[in-house]
Amino acid sequence: MTRYLLTTAGRTYRIDADGETSDILQWYIESQGTPEPLIALSRQQVLARIGRSALPTDFPAPDMVIGDPNRETGHTRGWLESSVDGWEAALLNSDAPAAETDTNKASREMMDEAVAAETSSRSDKPAWTPRSRLWADVPMAADDRVVIISSLGVVAPSGKVITGQSMPSGQALGNFLATHWPRSPKFLPQLWLTYEALESIGFAVDDSDGPITSSSAVTGVVEQYFDCKVSNAKAGWFTCKFAGDRKAYVVLIPLMHTDPSSKRPGDMGVAGYEDSGTELPEDELDAVKLLAERIAWLANIADGVAPSSRWSTLGASLLDAVRKRGRQDTKAIEACPYPAQVAVETGGDIEPAVEPQWDRRPHRAKEDKIDVEVDQRAAYLASAGQVELGYGKLKELSKIDVGVFGEQKPPFGLWRLTTPPCSDLDGLTKKLPRPHASMQWDEPATFWVTTRGVQQLTAPVELGGAGLSIPELVIDEAWVWSQQGRLLRTWADALRAKLIEAREAEREDYQDFVKAIYTTYLGRMASDQWQPSQKQHQQPAWYAAIRADTRWRAMRYARMMADTHNLYPVQAELDAWIYLVDRDQDLSIFNEEPAVNGKYRVKWTSAEDDEQGGGAA
C-alpha cells in the first residue's frame, strides 16, 4: 500500500493506493507531472496578506503542519496560497464590509440607495456594481482601513466595489464613515478622494489665487465641505473628527504635493514623485488602480502598516509592528536624547559621514577622463540590520577601561576620545579623507564617538580604520547603556525583503518607497519631532552608530581601490565616491560582489551624459 497526498483547489487528500491505483497515479506523475516544492504561507505571512492581527474564526484550517502538532509550541502551521485565495474570494463576494455590524447594516444600505438615487441622474459615466471586483490582483491587506473615493464610486484597495456611484455631497463623508466602520476601530480609517471626486461635489482644488502649497491653507474649506473638525493638516492628509466623535484621515490626493519634506522635495508619498515616471496617471480609473496597488503593497509589509503623511511615520509603525510580532516589545525602549554634556559639546552632531566637502578634483577639466560615481546599495539599511544598539538605563562611567574594545561586543555607548595627529599615524594619506572628519592632520583632536566609531578607528588602515591600538586610546568621558542588541535587524530584514521584491518586479515606485521609509525614519531618529505615542523612536545615538558603520564601509572601499588599483576618489558625498578615470577604464572593477546591500556599484558615469548629449545634438 502506497500513500499519496493530492492537493487540489486548496484541499489536500490522502490516498492509500493499492497496486493498480498506485500504477495509475505513478503514470500520471511521470508523464504529466513536474517536480515542484510545496510552498505554503506562514501564519505571519497570512496575517500580513489579509490585513488582520489574528486569524478570523472562519479561516480555513492549515494545509500543512511542520513538527509535532500535539505540542503547543512544537509545530509550525502553513496555508497554501490557493486556500487563502479562496477565503479572500468568499469574503469579497459577501455583502458586508470587514467592519460591518448588525446595528449599522440597515443604515449602510439606506446610505447606498441614497447615493445611487442622487447621482444616477447627473452622472454620464457607467455605474460600478456594488460587491463586484474591479481587479483581482491586489491583496486585501489594506481593506480594513482604506477606501478610495472616486467620481465613479467607492472601492477598497483589493478592487471590491463598496458604492457604485460618486459621493453626493461632502457631508455624506461622515455618514459613510459611520456606516462602514465601528466607532472605535483598531486603526483610524483612511478615506482617499480623487481630483474628480472633489470636483463632483464642488470642492475647488485649483486655487485661482495661485497654487496651493500648504494643506493647512485649506483647513477651513475641508471643515466646511465635509462637516468635520480638522486637528492636523499636512501633505494632503487631514485628521478629521466627524459627528459622533468618529475620527478618520481624509486624504485629498490632489494636495499630496503640498508641505514636502525639505530633504525630499517633490515627494508626494504613494502618489509618486513630481515630474517622474512614478506620478499617478491622468486617467482616474488608472490612477485609482495604481494607488490601490501601492497602498496594499505597503500594508503587506506587516500588520498595522499603512501609508502616512510622512514616510518616517510609516517606518516607525513598521518597527512597532515587528517588535510586537517578535515579542521584542518586552524590552523597555524609551526615548533617549543625548546627555546634556554630549549635546552641548557636539551640537547634537556625532559621527558625520565621510569628511564633508572633501574635494580633490583638478582645477582644469581633462577631456580624456570621465567621472565615475559609485555608492553603496541601500547603505543605511545594511548598517541598521547589523549594528549593536543600546537600550535600558544610560549611565555615566566614573572609571573607563579601554580594554572593553578588545571584546567581541563592547558595550554600546558614547565616548569622548582624543586622537593623535593623522600625520603621526602610519599609513594614512591626504589622497583619502581622514578616517573621522573630526580628526586633524597636524594636531590632536578631541571629539565624541559611538562604540562603532571607536571600532572603526582601531581597525587597520588597510581596512578603513585609523590603525589606533586599543592601549593608546585616550578616553576621558563616557556614557553607556545597560543593555544592547541588534534591535533593528527584523525591521531591516522586512524592508530588505520588500526591496528585493521591488527590484525583481522592476517597480521603480516600490523601490523609491522602501528607500524613503528607511532613510527618513533613520534620519528622524536624531530629532525630537515625534508624537507622544511615538517618543520611543527618538534615538540619536542609534542613528550615529548607523552612520559610523556606513562611513567605515566607505573608507574600507576607498582604501581597497587605492591599494588594489591605485585609484583615488576626487570627491566624496555621504557614502558615495567620484573617481576620475580614463575613458577606456574597465568599470567592472568598481563593482563589489555579491551585489547585496552595503556593497558598492557603479551608479553613474559622465560618459552616459556625453552620449545622451551627443544624441540630442
The residue written with cell numbers 581596512 in the block is 463
The residue written with cell numbers 522586512 in the block is 494
Residue 548 cell numbers, joined: 559610523
The proportion of the chain whose per-residue pLDDT surpasses 70, expressed as a percent, equals 89
Residue 82 pLDDT exceeds 60: yes
Tens of pLDDT, residue by residue over 480-512, are 999 999 999 999 999 999 999 999 999 999 999
Residue 97 pLDDT exceeds 50: no
What ranges do the domains of the chain cover?
A: 2-88, 132-309, 340-605
Residue 284 pLDDT exceeds 70: yes
pLDDT of residue 564: 97
Tens of pLDDT, residue by residue over 151-203, are 999 999 999 999 988 899 999 999 999 999 998 898 999 999 999 999 999 99
Residue 34 pLDDT level (bands cut at 50, 70, 90):
confident
The torsion region of residue 464 among left (phi > 0), alpha (psi -120 to 50) and beta comes to: left
Tens of pLDDT, residue by residue over 202-260, are 998 876 567 888 999 999 999 999 999 999 999 999 999 999 999 999 999 999 999 99
Q: Which of 73-87, 424-438, 538-552 has the lowest mean pLDDT?
A: 73-87
pLDDT of residue 195: 96
Residue 58 pLDDT level (bands cut at 50, 70, 90):
confident
pLDDT of residue 33: 83
Distance of CA 599 to the CA centre of its chain: 20
CA distance 227 to 242: 7
Return the DSSP state at 561. H
Return the DSSP state at 154. E
Contact 305, 296 (CB under 8 A): no
Compute the average pLDDT of residues 73-77. 73
CB atoms within 10 A of CB 125: 15
pLDDT of residue 72: 58
β-pair partners for 475: 417
Residue 354 pLDDT level (bands cut at 50, 70, 90):
confident
Residue 377 pLDDT exceeds 90: yes
pLDDT of residue 591: 97
Q: Quick check: bond before 594 cis, omega within 30? A: yes
Residue 299 pLDDT level (bands cut at 50, 70, 90):
very high
452 or 264: whose pLDDT is higher?
A: 452
pLDDT of residue 53: 61
The residue written with cell numbers 582624543 in the block is 418
CA distance 177 to 200: 19
Residue 149 cell numbers, joined: 473615493
Contact 65, 75 (CB under 8 A): yes
Within 146-277, residue ranges assigned H as helices are: 172-180, 195-200, 219-226
Compute the average pLDDT of residues 388-393. 96
The proportion of the chain whose per-residue pLDDT surpasses 90, expressed as a percent, equals 67
Helix (H) / strand (E) containing 493: helix 489-504
Tens of pLDDT, residue by residue over 509-525, are 999 999 999 999 999 99
Q: Which long-range contacts (CB under 8 A, 24 or more apart) does 318-326 make?
A: 318/491, 318/494, 318/495, 318/517, 319/488, 319/491, 319/521, 319/537, 320/534, 322/490, 322/491, 322/494, 323/490, 323/491, 325/44, 326/490
Tens of pLDDT, residue by residue over 599-615, are 999 999 998 766 655 43
Tens of pLDDT, residue by residue over 428-482, are 999 999 999 999 999 999 999 999 999 999 999 999 999 999 999 999 999 999 9
CA distance 255 to 268: 9
pLDDT of residue 118: 47
pLDDT of residue 324: 86
Residue 125 pLDDT exceeds 80: no
Residue 95 pLDDT exceeds 60: no
DSSP assignment of 407-469 equals SSSPPPEEEEEEE--GGGSTT--TTS--SSTT--SSS-EEEEEEHHHHHHHTS-GGGTS----
Q: What is the pTM of this model?
A: 0.82
- Measure the CA angle with vertex 158, ends 169 and 267; round to 5°: 75
